[in-house]
Homo-oligomer: A and B are copies of this chain.
């Protein structure tokens, strides 16, 4: 359930996507540590050299958090580098609620962590952080010491961070994050995070209390809600029991409703198939500062109105 950027990175780095091993996940979308242990053992037995484990804090589809302590134990046992992709979910560390912050337990044992402040913190696109536990790693990996850019004998050479990055020329996104943090404070960021999570909780409650018009497609962990709208003719909807024809019909429901909502200018919500289940809606709440629970109620009403008239 990791982000496809792991696949892209393997392709780009010359490792090759064939050498990327997908570890099975539980129903929420979180990596199963015993499966990781087994995959490492299998790789070693085949003569391969596993060296990197990519864990995820807030998977893209379901918003699941991997069990970081158990993954770190596996990594320590085998001397593997542990990275946590917290692009979407690491922001829970800023939450005011302990149960939300606890989703990140053990992530502090990782060798590196990514965090996209442009997702849950309301920053502009591309404002992202890569944190490494190894001082000097960025310079060692990326530094090429081009003499025409990074003169060691110039004034304030120590503030020139260009050679520590892949791209060199970049926008000063860190400044925007710093300014916003200064302006809002920890409490302001906590309010943003918790507002988004609260919206997801409210949405889930409405789905579960809909009497079968809406059905959860995946358990909810974070600010993602995966759900079906079930047309009256397909109720009660149980994906495990649904036959081929019902599944085929269900697969077309979300695309049709989305297209109609899009044409009416109402909303754009993603949908997708997963784990053999037909297309379901996936709504996420990133930086939804001005979205209210009443907005979500209206959205569910609109989906139901469009869906029941299909």
Residue positions of A touching B, CB distance < 8 A: 4-5, 7-8, 11-15, 60-61, 118, 124-126, 142, 144, 146-149, 151, 153-156, 166, 168-171, 255, 258-259, 262-263, 270-274, 279, 282
B155-A259 in contact (CB<8A): yes
A15-B12 in contact (CB<8A): no
Closest to A155 in B: B259
A151-B4 in contact (CB<8A): no
Can you pick out 6 interface pairs between chain A and chain B where the beta carbons lie within 8 Å of each other?
A8-B144, A125-B171, A126-B169, A147-B273, A151-B270, A151-B272
B258-A154 in contact (CB<8A): yes
B259-A60 in contact (CB<8A): no
B-chain residues with CB within 8 Å of residue A144 when the two chains form the complex: 4, 7-8, 11
B274-A151 in contact (CB<8A): no
Cα-based distance from A125 to B170 in the complex (angstroms): 7
B-chain residues with CB within 8 Å of residue A15 when the two chains form the complex: 14
Closest to A145 in B: B4
The 3 closest A-B pairs by CB, nearest first: A14-B14, A4-B146, A155-B259
Given contacts A4-B149, A5-B168, A8-B142, 13 further A-B contacts (CB under 8 A): A7-B144, A8-B166, A12-B12, A13-B14, A126-B171, A147-B274, A148-B272, A148-B274, A149-B270, A151-B272, A154-B271, A155-B258, A155-B259
A148-B14 in contact (CB<8A): no
A154-B273 in contact (CB<8A): no
B-chain residues with CB within 8 Å of residue A61 when the two chains form the complex: 148
CB distance from A87 to the nearest CB of B (A): 9
B-chain residues with CB within 8 Å of residue A153 when the two chains form the complex: 255, 279
B-chain residues with CB within 8 Å of residue A272 when the two chains form the complex: 147-148, 151
Cα-based distance from A166 to B4 in the complex (angstroms): 11
Closest to A59 in B: B148
Closest to A142 in B: B8
B270-A12 in contact (CB<8A): no
B262-A148 in contact (CB<8A): no
Closest to A128 in B: B169
CB distance from A300 to the nearest CB of B (A): 20
B13-A154 in contact (CB<8A): no
Closest to A172 in B: B125
Cα-based distance from A151 to B15 in the complex (angstroms): 27
B-chain residues with CB within 8 Å of residue A151 when the two chains form the complex: 255, 270-272
Cα-based distance from A274 to B151 in the complex (angstroms): 12
Contacts A168-B5, A170-B126; is A155 near B13 (CB within 8 Å)?
A: no
B-chain residues with CB within 8 Å of residue A262 when the two chains form the complex: 155-156
Cα-based distance from A156 to B258 in the complex (angstroms): 12
Cα-based distance from A151 to B256 in the complex (angstroms): 13
Cα-based distance from A306 to B126 in the complex (angstroms): 42
A148-B12 in contact (CB<8A): no
Cα-based distance from A205 to B258 in the complex (angstroms): 64
A259-B148 in contact (CB<8A): no
